[in-house]
């Protein structure tokens, strides 16, 4: 069948289907990610789904890839970003906790909830945790911490945030920003310099 290149309006787009699946996952868990309800959400035919995905399993795999690339990829990049000190390096990581474009906490919660139902997804989560912890450990080692101490500090920093996510903690932004210098001091043993906090707060439109 001949088609005009790029003329996909009648069947949606791969990004549209994936975004609908993402919304369904956050709203109702993995059991809500089904082809017919997604088609109704998008006001498309069920058969249009198959232009983009072989089956539901391929769609779910694409959701996992999106989570992996965004949350794990960005956290690792932030841990490896340039910093003058371990305090500023930690603030770079904290960007993830405040910027949903870097790290999507609701997506993280949904994937971890899914892992309670699936051994395969649990393995994905465990692999992500290991990769993130390794990156944070390397960050501490880069600033002179011995491997064991670096590992413990990495775990302390990371597991506190996973606790925030797992408990679905809602915290006023101003209060969280006020607490951040103390968190940095506890996690690193070093208080951030005023200029480091100024740069951090400027990124988050506070000051």
Same domain, 91 and 185: yes
Does residue 38 sit within a domain? yes
**Cα(130)–Cα(71) distance, rounded to whole angstroms?**
13
The answer to whether 103 touches 96, Cβ cutoff 8 Å, is: yes
The string of DSSP codes covering 12-42 is --HHHHHHHHHHHHHHH-GGG--HHHHHHHH
DSSP 8-state code for residue 45: -
For position 207, what pLDDT does the model report?
Answer: 44
Same domain, 70 and 40: no
Torsion sign, CA atoms 143, 146, 149, 150: positive
For position 171, what pLDDT does the model report?
Answer: 87
In the numeric block, the tokens 């965004």 are attached to: 70
- Report which secondary-structure segment, H or E, holds 66: helix 56-67
Does residue 75 sit within a domain? yes
In the numeric block, the tokens 């101490």 are attached to: 149
The answer to whether 59 touches 25, Cβ cutoff 8 Å, is: no
As a whole number of Å, the CA-based R_g of the chain is 20
**The two structure tokens encoding residue 145:** 């911490």
For position 31, what pLDDT does the model report?
Answer: 97
Does residue 123 sit within a domain? yes
What's the number of CA atoms in the CB half-sphere (13 Å) around residue 104?
18
In the numeric block, the tokens 């450990």 are attached to: 137
- Non-local (6+) Cβ contacts of 144 within 8 A are 86
**The two structure tokens encoding residue 92:** 């770079």
pTM here?
0.91
Beta strands in the chain (DSSP E): none
Spans of the chain, pLDDT less than 50? 1-8, 207
Q: Is 191 helix (H, G, I), strand (E, B) or coil?
A: coil
Same domain, 126 and 191: yes
For position 160, what pLDDT does the model report?
Answer: 97
Of 72, 71, 52, nearest to 62 (Cα)?
Answer: 52
Domain that holds residue 36: 8-53
For position 30, what pLDDT does the model report?
Answer: 97
Same domain, 92 and 20: no
**Cα(7)–Cα(39) distance, rounded to whole angstroms?**
18
151 dihedral zone (left: phi>0; alpha: psi -120 to 50; beta):
alpha
For position 9, what pLDDT does the model report?
Answer: 57
For position 10, what pLDDT does the model report?
Answer: 58
CATH number of the domain residue 38 falls in: 1.10.10
Does residue 118 sit within a domain? yes
Same domain, 182 and 94: yes
């Amino acid at each position: 069948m001949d088609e005009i290149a790029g003329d996909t309006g009648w069947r949606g787009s791969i990004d549209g289907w994936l975004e609908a699946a993402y919304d369904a996952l956050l709203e109702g868990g993995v059991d809500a990610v089904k082809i017919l309800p997604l088609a109704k959400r998008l006001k498309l035919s069920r058969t249009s789904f198959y232009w983009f995905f072989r089956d539901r399993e391929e769609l779910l795999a694409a959701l996992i890839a999106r989570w992996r690339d965004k949350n794990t990829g960005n956290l690792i990049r932030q841990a490896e970003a340039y910093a003058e000190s371990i305090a500023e390096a930690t603030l770079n990581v904290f960007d993830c906790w405040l910027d949903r474009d870097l790290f999507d906490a609701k997506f993280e919660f949904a994937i971890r909830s899914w892992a309670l139902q699936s051994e395969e997804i649990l393995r994905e989560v465990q692999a992500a945790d290991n990769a993130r912890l390794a990156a944070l450990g390397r960050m501490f080692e880069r600033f002179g911490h011995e491997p064991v101490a670096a590992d413990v500090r990495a775990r302390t920093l990371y597991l506190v945030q996973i606790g925030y996510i797992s408990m679905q903690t809602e915290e006023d932004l101003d209060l969280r920003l006020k607490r951040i210098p103390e968190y940095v001091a506890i996690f690193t043993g070093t208080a951030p310099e005023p200029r480091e906090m100024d740069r951090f707060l400027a990124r988050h439109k506070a000051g």
